[in-house]
């Protein structure tokens, strides 16, 4: 369930509201592209600016639309342990297969705080947990030792590693057997070289079949062929995600490809016009635009 190509799905908006019709279309596009899993309302899904009611409605809609065809790993994290438990319980109630649990942000817990936070969630709700370690967005991150302790808990099955450090991932792989998933598109293949099993991908919003092609080769052990896909995807993923904070560039790209609006919610703002010309060229070079 926790390997291969999984998409960090955007949340489409139209005139300030969630565009559920487009959301359904995006899910169908992912399924047609052979995606291995769908991850709604994470960072890319703009969870910080969704109300709790909206957050729950997106999880429920995604689960219903996917209809069991692939696993749904619902973003259910919070910087309040009680709120994370509430959202996780809801995800279980509506049929999500697992939850993605981001490290508590802003309040900057100590390592023991990280451990007790995730332990409480895992013990309170009987649903598989994918930890999400992204210190650059949370103000603090987990050490390999903390992750190793958490891996001993029954419901904690995988970690989305977005620290950008191969040494960190190597230490995790050395210390325990938790499934390591890349949280950075550009590092999917490098992480696989030390045991990574796939990616929760931003760029899969527009090229799910290509990301799937690479992760299939990785899981088959054909790293020579996977390297060809890595090189093709690298310019797209790295180029796009260095233009502005995620999900600003991916939403701009999807608007250019007529997949959804580029609408975001404050404090996120649209991609600047000079950056749009760079993005358009990147999409053209990849073969997505003429």
The set of catalytic residues is 132, 160
What 3-state DSSP class applies to 185? helix
Distant-in-sequence contacts of 149-154, Cβ < 8 A, 24+ apart: 149/115, 150/114, 150/115, 150/118, 150/119, 150/122, 150/178, 151/176, 151/177, 151/178, 152/176, 153/118, 153/119, 153/122, 153/123, 154/122
Let me know: does 70 contact 45? Beta carbons within 8 Å.
no
What residues form DSSP beta bridges with 98?
73
What's the Cα-to-Cα distance from 27 to each of 12, 24, 40, 65, 289, rounded to whole Å?
Answer: 11, 5, 10, 7, 22
Examine residue 118 and say whether the peptide bond preceding it is cis (omega within 30 degrees of 0): no
Closest to 160 (Cα-Cα) out of 242, 244, 168: 168
Phi, psi torsion values for 180, nearest 5 degrees: -100, 125
Closest to 141 (Cα-Cα) out of 173, 175, 118: 118
Helix H or strand E segment including 260: none
């Amino acid at each position: 369930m926790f390997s291969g190509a999984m998409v960090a799905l955007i949340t489409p908006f139209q005139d300030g509201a969630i565009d559920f019709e487009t959301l359904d279309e995006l899910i169908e596009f992912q399924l047609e592209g052979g995606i291995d899993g769908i991850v709604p309302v994470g960072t890319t899904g703009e969870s910080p600016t969704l109300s709790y009611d909206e957050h729950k409605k997106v999880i429920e809609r995604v689960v219903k639309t996917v209809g069991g065809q692939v696993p749904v790993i619902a973003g259910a994290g919070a910087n309040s342990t009680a709120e994370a438990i509430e959202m996780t319980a809801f995800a279980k109630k509506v049929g999500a297969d697992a939850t993605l649990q981001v490290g508590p942000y802003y309040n900057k817990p100590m390592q023991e705080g990280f451990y007790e936070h995730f332990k409480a969630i895992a013990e309170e709700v009987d649903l598989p947990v994918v930890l999400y370690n992204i210190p650059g967005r949370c103000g603090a991150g987990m050490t390999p030792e903390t992750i190793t302790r958490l891996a001993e808990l029954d419901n904690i099955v995988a970690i989305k590693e977005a620290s950008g450090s191969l040494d960190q991932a190597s230490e995790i792989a050395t210390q325990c057997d938790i499934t390591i998933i890349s949280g950075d598109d550009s590092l999917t293949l490098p992480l696989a070289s030390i045991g990574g099993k796939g990616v929760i991908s931003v760029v899969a919003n527009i090229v799910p079949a290509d990301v799937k092609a690479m992760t299939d080769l990785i899981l088959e052990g054909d790293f020579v062929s996977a390297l060809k896909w890595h090189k093709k995807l690298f310019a797209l993923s790295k180029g796009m995600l260095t233009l502005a904070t995620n999900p600003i560039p991916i939403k701009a790209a999807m608007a250019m490809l007529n997949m959804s609006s580029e609408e975001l919610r404050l404090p996120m703002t649209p991609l600047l016009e000079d950056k749009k010309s760079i993005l358009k060229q990147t999409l053209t070079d990849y073969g997505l635009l003429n």
